[in-house]
């Protein structure tokens, strides 16, 4: 293999190793300014947007044991990787697509499981991790408060009435 090809494959391999997810997108309609704006938005989640050659991606993905993405490797391809919050990245991409209508999300792989563009859109619609945690905490607090009220009512019911003064 030529040194240039190996370099490109190693570069893609390095991108893919940055996170447990990868999102493939078609960027043909995007301008340089659009790409810079998307990269700036993704930086909030510590994610990166990279243009890759399909042949280099194919080899690197196979080496890392990713699912078969052959159908998605048609046309221009960019990858979004990095950061820990794949749902947050999906939210950013969905908002960017809605605003600009210049980026097309092809597929994603999260924890080596294939996700369609529709699945990624559903992931983007979910509340943030912090919101889910606060909802769960609220549920626990509500249940605990209800339990305390029931126990308190039972205790009050069983206590003899205080004599009137």
Which structure tokens are listed for 46?
């510590």
pTM of model > 0.85: no
- What does the pLDDT average to over 16-45? 88
C-alpha distances in Å from residue 118, one per residue of 45, 90, 96, 123: 21, 11, 15, 9
Average pLDDT across the chain, whole number: 84
Cα separation, 86 vs 110, in Å, equals 8
Per-residue pLDDT reduced to its tens digit, 76-113: 888 888 878 888 888 898 999 888 888 888 888 888 88
Residue 160 pLDDT greater than 80, yes or no: no
Residue 59: closest CA among 5, 107, 19, 115: 5
What does the pLDDT read at residue 40?
Answer: 94
Query: Tens digits of per-residue pLDDT, 11-26?
Result: 888 878 888 888 899 8
Cβ atoms < 10 Å from Cβ of 77: 22
Check residue 104 and give its pLDDT.
87
SS3 assignment for 34-93: HHHHHHHHHHCCCCEEEEECHHHHHHHHHHHCCCCCHHHCCCCEEEEECCCCHHHHHHHH
pLDDT, residue 161, reads 63
Cβ distance 66 to 112 under 8 Å?
yes
């Amino acid at each position: 293999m030529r040194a240039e090809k190996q370099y490109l494959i190693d570069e893609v391999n390095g991108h893919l190793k940055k996170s447990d997810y990868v999102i493939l997108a078609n960027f043909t309609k995007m301008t340089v300014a659009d790409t810079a704006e998307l990269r700036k938005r993704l930086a909030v989640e510590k994610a990166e947007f990279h243009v890759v050659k399909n042949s280099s991606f194919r080899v690197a993905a196979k080496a890392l044991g990713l699912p078969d993405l052959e159908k998605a490797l048609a046309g221009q391809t960019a990858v979004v990787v990095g950061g820990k919050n794949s749902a947050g990245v999906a939210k950013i991409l969905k908002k960017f697509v809605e605003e600009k209508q210049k980026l097309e999300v092809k597929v994603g792989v999260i924890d080596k499981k294939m996700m369609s563009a529709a699945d990624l859109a559903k992931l983007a619609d979910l509340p943030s991790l912090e919101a889910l945690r606060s909802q769960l905490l609220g549920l626990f607090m509500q249940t605990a408060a209800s339990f305390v009220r029931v126990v308190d009512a039972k205790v009050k019911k069983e206590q003899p009435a205080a004599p009137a003064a």
